[in-house]
A = this chain, B = another copy of it.
Amino acid sequence: MKKLINNPENVVKEELEGISYAHPDLVKVFFDPNYIVRADAPVQGKVGIVSGGGSGHEPMHGGFVGMGMLDAACPGAVFTSPTPDQMLEATKAVNGGAGVLHIVKNYTGDIMNFEMAADLARAEGIDIESVVIDDDVAVQDSLYTAGRRGVGTTVLAEKLCGAAAEERRSLKQVADLCRKVNGWGRSMGMALTSCTVPHVGKPTFDLPEDEMEIGIGIHGEPGRERMKVKSADEITEMLMEPIVKDLPYKSGDEVLIFVNSMGGTPLIELYIIYRKAYEIAQKHGLKVVRHLIGPYITSLEMAGCSITLLKMDDDLKKLWDAPVKTPGMRWGA
């Protein structure tokens, strides 16, 4: 295992220390239990938005804490659900009196622990809504999931709901928006290589030098099929076609295309994937009105990519363009 780490047991703690050194203007980092909140939390009268999940998917979620996106993130150990006490403390820290939305990726441990945290927070008088993201069209059930897995749409939901909360929309409105985004987003991923969980020390799975896996999960969960490595254009078709069919997106729809690196795939390759994804979208009559290209929901150093398509409307476009200031996503008005 070749990684830039010290003791594998300390990876998350030391990463959080690095974040606390780098971004004191944007976030506050708490330890034992571990959670990250925006520096000015709680924002009075604003819906708080909390997400979280296993570490190893950086910048998601900790890198998305800040103005215009998340109020708090709860990082678990690598590929391991955070605990209810992390979620409860984060929820209390960002409660500005307008309630708190939990954005939860559909993994059994995350669901269970966020439900427990929501119950505990409600017992303390905080209004909670929870929305589960389950956008991965690759497989129906999976290693850690009943139903579809939650992947790339999570990043988009966090941006869009964060902007809606900044506008002081109500808890019900922000939660309904999150459900709409989940309903309009579809994703699928693939891997060229495995990744290695630091405290495990060996690759999560074996993939021969000439093979790839289509439909892989972000923890290396099995996908749809293993096959010989194909060209970027063929791979893009294999990801895009099931996505486009699933919603189904219709000719004339406006869409955002999100091409994501699994961690070890560089930007030059992502643009080659984006090129073909854009052409396929056009072929279907879809109008590409926004995009996101880069490593945003990763699987440690796994080589590969995922594509997410999100149907857009005027409200979503306005929310997408709204300012955001977080360690991992930042732009002006």
The segment from A37-45, A120-128, A228-236 found at the interface with B is A228-236
CB A195 to nearest CB in B, in angstroms, measures 9
The segment from A92-100, A166-174, A260-268 found at the interface with B is A260-268
Q: Which of A232-248 contact B (CB under 8 A)?
A: 232-233, 235
Q: Which of A17-61 contact B (CB under 8 A)?
A: 17-19, 21-22, 55-56, 58-59
Q: Does A112 contact B (CB under 8 A)?
A: no
Q: Are A263 and B266 in contact (CB under 8 A)?
A: yes
Bound Cα distance from A166 to B25, whole angstroms: 26
Bound Cα distance from A223 to B2, whole angstroms: 18
- Quick one: CB contact mask for A214-233 with B, threshold 8 Å, 1 for yes? 00000000000000010111
Bound Cα distance from A293 to B58, whole angstroms: 12
**Chain B residue contacts of A327, Cβ below 8 A:** 293
Partner of A58, one of B11, B268, B330: B268
Q: Are B267 and A59 in contact (CB under 8 A)?
A: yes
Bound Cα distance from A6 to B298, whole angstroms: 23
Partner of A4, one of B6, B16, B192, B279: B192
Q: Are B5 and A272 in contact (CB under 8 A)?
A: yes
Q: Are B293 and A22 in contact (CB under 8 A)?
A: yes
- Quick one: CB contact mask for A240-281 with B, threshold 8 Å, 1 for yes? 000000000000000000000001111111111111001100
Determine which residue in A266, A269, A333 has the highest number of CB atoms from chain B within 10 A of its CB, and name it. A266
Given A5-B272, A266-B300, output 13 extra A-B contacts at Cβ < 8 Å.
A4-B232, A4-B304, A4-B305, A6-B272, A14-B271, A16-B271, A18-B272, A18-B273, A21-B278, A63-B267, A263-B266, A325-B332, A330-B330
